[in-house]
A and B are shown apart, each in its own frame.
Chain A
Amino acid sequence: MAEGDREPLAGAGTLREALRALLPPTKEELTLQLGERVERSVVRLLQEAVELFCGGRGGECLQASEAILDYSWEKLNTGPWRDVHRDWRRVYAFGCLLKAVCLCEEPGDAGAVAAALRVCDMGLLMGAAILGDILTKVAAVLQAHLPSGKRPAPGPAQEQPHEKKARHDRVWIPDVRSERTVPRLRCPSLQHFRKHFLVPGRPVILEGVADQWPCMKKWSLEYIQDVAGCRTVPVEVGSRYTDEEWSQTLMTVNEFISKYIRDEPRDVGYLAQHQLFDQIPELKRDISIPDYCCLGDGDEEEITINAWFGPQGTVSPLHQDPQQNFLVQVTGRKYIRLYSPQESEALYPHDTHLLHNTSQVDVENPDLEKFPKFAEAPFLSCILSPGEILFIPVKYWHYVRALDLSFSVSFWWS
């Protein structure tokens, strides 16, 4: 069983070469243009780290990188995220780059490569693009160099994209026929969509638009693990984020699948609201941007694409978002309820600044004594199935529960 443990020397050599090929050729180019925000001492430390790296002093470079990472991490945690200066995120990404490359300098074992990949992912999650988005490229190289022994063997259960075991608590599938449903349209024209849904802010399910995307056929658990298994992603643990026990943690996609999708999970884990397709460009090729997004004001680059991947039973409590949303269902079904922004009062949003876009009401189990107006609030509902796109207008309240193992992709646009 030594194969999976030690990276053979030849392999390590090619890894080093491949990484070096990605880095700028000269020491002078391995640098960041930083503004005044970043203190001189940090700039000095960055330069020192580069010197150490180029001088072959990997161990010391690693130490310097750690200090850079720790210091910039504190900056990333100071103030609201939107106010964190981009330069600090770039510094953080740079620290991740140096650390990841240093970890792979020595012909070490596969553990070092996995650790380096994790560092890259941290840089992608929290940092900002540097040196021509180098971290994405480094991550791809590292991923390719992980020996296959690193991937977990398929579990004793069979490989099926849909939930195979019956869960001990049966899933409650709402009878949507008794509720007002979201209208459905097959491939409407841009004009029609804009006139009847975008402008007046009305939800609609678009059929026939996404059903031929490659992801619809390709995305099985196996495929996801193959393409992204060793990558680190943020996972929400807890049945819903309004719960006391809710928390967020980082783990690889493999760990997420084995812990929260296979193996009789104890808790609900949800890979939610994560820009997976920026992190793993290979997956981005399996999806497209709905044409209707061009009706918005923003550029295509400004569209935020999020992945939502989780087992049966994940819940997003009733909330609203400040942008238009196309929710594309790839695998599994989701029960979704929609309330118009005009009903906001009946939805009792939290009054704190941080949560004013979240309702206090548990939609499928409302406390009507505490929230009496909720009972009368009109809503639309649907069960969104693979291949369908739900248009959620800006500020439209929505509640989502997964009825099966589910993978959705959302597009936030303006």
Chain B
Amino acid sequence: MAEERRGSWFGFGFCGFGQALGSGRGRQVHSPEPLQTPGEGEGADVCRVSASWSYTAFVTRGGRLELSGSAGCAAGGCRDAWASEALLVVLRAGPGRGSGTELQAWAPGSALSGEPLWAHTVGPEAEGEDAPGGEPQAGALPLLPGGRAYVSPRPPFYSPLAPELRARRLELGAEHALLLDEAGQVFSWGQGRHGQLGHGTLEAELEPRPLEALQGVPMAEVAAGGWHSVCVSETGDIYIWGWNESGQLALPSRSLAEVGKTAAGEASGLKEDGCDVRTAEGESGGLAPFIAIQPFPALLDLPPGTDAVKASCGSRHTAVVTRTGELYTWGWGKYGQLGHKDTSSLDRPRRVEYFVDRRLQSFLFSTDQSNQKVIWPGRKKNQYIFLKGKYTHFNLFLRIYLYFKNRTCIRLSSMADTDQIHAGEF
């Protein structure tokens, strides 16, 4: 990995706490700007960025952790960090060689001084899972090295995972979790009221449950937004499901239509694909209506020939990086987190023009809530595999009863969605 060129970080979105986004003061950044990590100049050595709402955590290859925003500090000996408003979780090298790593949870404002809120020693056998060459794989949190457990900002903070799951990646939404195993199978569990579990219902799941709809399609990546889920197949297709209240599923959103913003025709390079998704005809004919909740994975169309390699989600927006190094974003845009130089929300993918002129290939990025950071490491060789899948949609009508604190019954929360079932085979 030594020959890989170091990349630069860019950020855009909400920065009301001064989370080290290049333009300094100001609440919002609408177009990508180079990130200035505190004390590190260009931040060329940063290998991991974890963004929470009010602060950001940076981890350098040298093991240095820097926080900026509502929390600020610097500390050494960190291999990985995971930022949330309630907790900052860091993976630190143990005091002596071979003594394993320690998982620590800190209050973000504690500046990592004093005692952590809790600590857990990760056994040395977990270190065997590192990449060859011994370099620790940053970026696995909230999944712990070894894939046997994960951390979450809510109690229980430390949750074991069944070993037979062979977890490779784990992502947490506001009230659900996604897991990707070694074979490329996606699992989900947690609350399901917004369809974010993808099993076709709104029921909660207590234990990881495999997504039957995606069986047989090996996934390479998963990402979880607040109430939506995304995964990217090894062949570059994107599957997405969950809540679409701001268009974060790239499906027609009623709230955007009411503001006159749905089906943005000016989205670059989307004209061919957009149409058949939006105006799919079914038994009753006519245009497909708005979708508030998609409880079943839907295949997302990017421009033909574009393969996704990475996906990441903020609480209500989605970002995808393609093999050719383009960045597409969509969903909630009120704080400029889509990077299109405005504050519009979008319900279809749109390319971030800022990165088009920079012939870069992207890989890692980290989004949270309403801000976003993208890294561009060195170039990688292009690979072109083209596979066409069928589009599956799920027809479901539903209503929700939510109970108030004193057991009174109230009906809230609409999800009236009709859409035709196109039987699909993957």
Contacts and interface: CB of A to CB of B under 8 A. Distances in A.
Interface string A133-144: 000000000000
Given A74-B315, A248-B414, A323-B407, A39 B85 contact: yes
Contact of B414 (A44, A45, A246, A358): A246
B416 A244 contact: yes
Interface of B: 14, 16-17, 27, 53-55, 70-71, 85-86, 107-109, 174-175, 191, 193, 201-204, 226-227, 254, 292, 315-316, 334, 369-370, 397, 399-418
Contacts of A71: 53, 369
Given A67-B16, A71-B53, A354-B401, A40 B70 contact: yes
Contact of A70 (B191, B203, B334, B409): B334
Contacts of B334: 70
A238 interface: yes
Given A40-B70, A70-B370, A71-B53, A273 B401 contact: no
A354 to B, nearest CB: 6
Nearest to A67: B16
B411 A273 contact: yes
A344 to B, nearest CB: 16
A352 interface: yes
Contacts of A357: 401, 409
Nearest to B28: A63
Interface in A231-270: 236, 238, 241-249
Interface stretch (A3-11, A17-25, A79-87, A399-407): A79-87
Given A78-B175, A354-B401, A41 B70 contact: yes
A64 interface: yes
5 contacts: A40-B107, A41-B53, A44-B54, A74-B369, A352-B202
A109 interface: no
A220 interface: no
Contacts of A78: 174-175, 226
Contacts of A77: 174, 226-227
A262 to B, nearest CB: 22
A40 B403 contact: no
Given A41-B55, A302-B406, A238 B416 contact: yes
A192 B53 CA distance: 60
Contacts of A41: 17, 53-55, 70-71, 85, 108
Contacts of A45: 16-17, 54
Given A45-B16, A70-B334, A74-B226, A322 B407 contact: yes
A251 to B, nearest CB: 11
Interface of A: 39-42, 44-45, 63-64, 67, 70-71, 74, 77-82, 236, 238, 241-249, 272-273, 302, 304, 321-323, 352-355, 357-358, 412
Q: Is the interface of B mostly helix, strand, loop or mixed?
A: loop
A354 B202 contact: yes
A246 B109 contact: no
B408 A81 contact: no
Contact of B412 (A40, A81, A243): A81
Given A80-B193, A302-B406, A40 B201 contact: no
Residue picked from A79, A272, A354, most chain B C-beta under 10 Å: A354
Contacts of B202: 352, 354
A242 B249 CA distance: 25
Given A241-B399, A357-B401, A273 B410 contact: yes
B412 A82 contact: no
Given A41-B55, A80-B193, A67 B315 contact: no
A247 B292 CA distance: 10
Contacts of A64: 16
Nearest to A36: B86
B405 A82 contact: yes
Nearest to B404: A82
Nearest to A321: B409
Contacts of B204: 353
Contacts of B86: 39
A129 B255 CA distance: 28
| Closest 8 A/B residue pairs (Cβ) | A41-B54, A247-B414, A244-B397, A248-B414, A81-B402, A39-B85, A41-B70, A247-B416
Which of B108, B203, B254, B409 has the most C-beta atoms of chain A within 10 angstroms of its own C-beta? B409
Contacts of B415: 247
A355 B399 contact: yes
Given A40-B108, A41-B55, A74-B174, A248 B407 contact: no
Contacts of A354: 193, 202-203, 400-401
A355 B202 CA distance: 11
A353 B418 contact: no
B83 to A, nearest CB: 11
Contact of A352 (B53, B201, B227): B201
Contacts of B27: 63, 67
Nearest to B370: A70
B203 A352 contact: yes
Contacts of B193: 80, 354
Nearest to A241: B399
Contacts of B315: 74
Query: Which has the most chain B C-beta neighbours within 10 Å: A45, A80, A355, A412?
Result: A80
Nearest to A37: B86
Contact of B14 (A67, A244, A249, A272): A67
Contacts of A302: 406
A80 B14 contact: no
A304 B413 contact: no
A242 B397 contact: yes
Contacts of B407: 322-323
Contacts of A40: 70, 107-109
Nearest to B194: A77
Contacts of A243: 397, 416
A358 B70 contact: no
A230 B247 CA distance: 29
Contact of A412 (B191, B369, B408, B411): B408
